[in-house]
């Protein structure tokens, strides 16, 4: 019946609302007005900083790639914040090297005094190392300061506006510049229905697209688009790195067992490969032997015929010589007989 269908629909909506209340929202794109709202439902900027960021966003006054110091791969770069102002590049590199090989590091300093501003950008050699640091380095301690890490939103998050222009995801409650939507302060599930009509009238885009997750889940950084060959190469490299890492982290006994196991598997592969190679070599050798045998047989036949012709010539020559000798001896004998007869 229709009333039962309506009732089931209301129950499902209520269940979705209750599940959303226990979850948080991570946005895929950035908008200053929604970032200034705890549940991404605000329609107007509530302070001058958000208004300034909204102007920069709508007029496209901020170019995220205009900084000449931005070098390196954004997919391998990690943003590190809340650093101790006494932390140096050497200390930070040593702390980040636990998660992978550091390719480049830039600790942001004051342009006049040269003092640390408390945040840095760390570029790793591989995207896998960056993801490991993104997962494990959050809330770690460096020089008695608890740091937070994030991916390079400046280049990878659409619509991003930095804190100096009124955007960002930081700020303190006392300053009136509290921002939401990041890893530390994700959006809450909407406390009231999103006013799409009001947003449309004011020309403000709706809340950014993203996904709801539990409070204990952490969204992964954006992934680079790759073709099939790149994926296979990366997967092969990651498997070899994992195997080497497990070998280095395991105990000497386990390391020796894994080494012998790997050697035995390599030996089996080689033993399988050797008969195939031998079969190929045998086939090639037999084909070459056949060719050599055929060429040798032809040569032998030619030699045989040449020898036969030479032998024939030699035999005829000998016979002729013998006949001549017989004729000479017969003549000598005849003359000798005639001489004896005349003498008598």
> 55-70: per-residue pLDDT in tens?
888 888 888 877 777 7
End-to-end Cα, the chain, rounded Å: 167
Question: Residue 125's pLDDT is what?
Answer: 94
Q: pLDDT (tens digit, 9 = 90+) per residue, 221-270? A: 888 887 665 556 656 666 666 666 665 555 566 667 776 777 777 777 66
Instruction: Tell me 74's DSSP state.
Output: G
- List, in sequence order, every residue forming a beta bridge with 145; answer none if it has no partner: 142
Three-class SS of residue 23? strand
Tell me the two tokens of residue 323: 């006949």
Q: Which residues are registered as beta bridge partners of 323? A: none
Q: How far apart are CA 84 and CA 99, in angstroms?
A: 20
Instruction: Give residue 72's pLDDT.
Output: 86
Indicate the CATH number of 69-157 among 3.30.565.10, 3.20.20.140, 3.30.70.330, 3.40.50.10420.
3.30.70.330
Alpha helix (H) residue ranges in 36-126: 48-58, 89-96
pLDDT (0 to 100) of residue 265: 75
Strands (E), the chain: 23-27, 77-81, 102-109, 116-124, 141-142, 145-146, 148-151, 187-188, 210-214
Nearest alpha carbon to residue 143 among 186, 193, 198, 80 = 80
Mean model confidence pLDDT for the chain: 78
The pLDDT score that the predictor gives to residue 100 is 94
What is this structure's pTM? Answer: 0.59
**Proportion of the chain in helix, strand, coil states, percent, rounded to 5:** 55, 10, 35
* Nearest partner of 187 among 303, 55, 41, judged by Cα: 41
Mean pLDDT of 167-191: 79
Alpha-carbon distances of 80 from 88, 92, 150, rounded to whole Å: 13, 10, 7
**φ, ψ dihedrals at 143, nearest 5°:** 55, 50
Domain regions of the chain by residue span: 27-62+160-223, 69-157
Tokens 């229905």 sit at which residue? 193
- 8 A C-beta contact, residue 149 and residue 35: no
pLDDT score recorded for residue 299: 62
- The per-residue pLDDT for 61 is 86
pLDDT score recorded for residue 68: 74
Three-state DSSP at 191 gives coil
Residue 281 has pLDDT above 70, yes or no: no
Identify the weakest region by mean pLDDT among 109-113, 169-173, 337-341: 337-341
């Amino acid at each position: 019946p229709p009333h039962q269908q309506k009732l089931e629909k209301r129950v499902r909506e209520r269940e979705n609302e209750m599940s959303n209340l226990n979850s948080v929202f991570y946005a895929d794109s950035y908008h200053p007005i929604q970032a200034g709202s705890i549940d991404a439902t605000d329609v107007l900027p509530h302070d001058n900083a958000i208004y300034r960021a909204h102007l920069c966003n709508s007029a496209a006054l901020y170019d995220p790639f205009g900084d000449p110091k931005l070098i390196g791969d954004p997919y391998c770069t990690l943003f590190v914040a809340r650093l101790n102002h006494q932390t140096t590049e050497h200390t930070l590199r040593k702390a980040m090297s636990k998660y992978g090989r550091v390719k480049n590091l830039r600790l942001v300093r004051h342009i006049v005094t040269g003092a640390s501003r408390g945040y840095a950008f760390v570029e790793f050699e591989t995207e896998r190392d960056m993801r490991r640091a993104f997962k494990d380095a959050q809330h770690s301690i460096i020089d008695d300061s608890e740091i937070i890490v994030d991916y390079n939103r400046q280049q990878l998050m659409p619509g991003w506006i930095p804190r100096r222009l009124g955007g960002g995801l930081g700020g303190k409650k006392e300053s009136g510049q509290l921002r939401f939507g990041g890893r530390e302060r994700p959006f809450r599930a909407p406390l009231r229905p999103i006013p799409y009509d009001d947003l449309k009238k004011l020309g403000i885009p709706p809340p950014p697209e993203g996904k709801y997750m539990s409070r204990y889940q952490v969204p992964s950084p954006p992934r680079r688009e790759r073709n099939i060959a790149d994926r296979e190469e990366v997967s092969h490299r990651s498997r070899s790195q994992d195997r080497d890492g497990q070998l280095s982290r395991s105990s000497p006994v386990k390391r020796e067992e894994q080494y012998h196991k790997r050697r035995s598997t390599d030996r089996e592969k080689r033993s399988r490969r050797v008969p195939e190679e031998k079969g190929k070599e045998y086939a090639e050798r037999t084909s070459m032997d056949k060719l050599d045998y055929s060429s040798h047989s032809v040569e032998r036949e030619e030699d045989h015929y040449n020898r036969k012709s030479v032998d024939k010539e030699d035999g005829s020559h000998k016979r002729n010589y013998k006949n001549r000798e017989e004729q000479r001896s017969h003549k000598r004998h005849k003359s000798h007989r005639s001489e004896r007869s005349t003498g008598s």
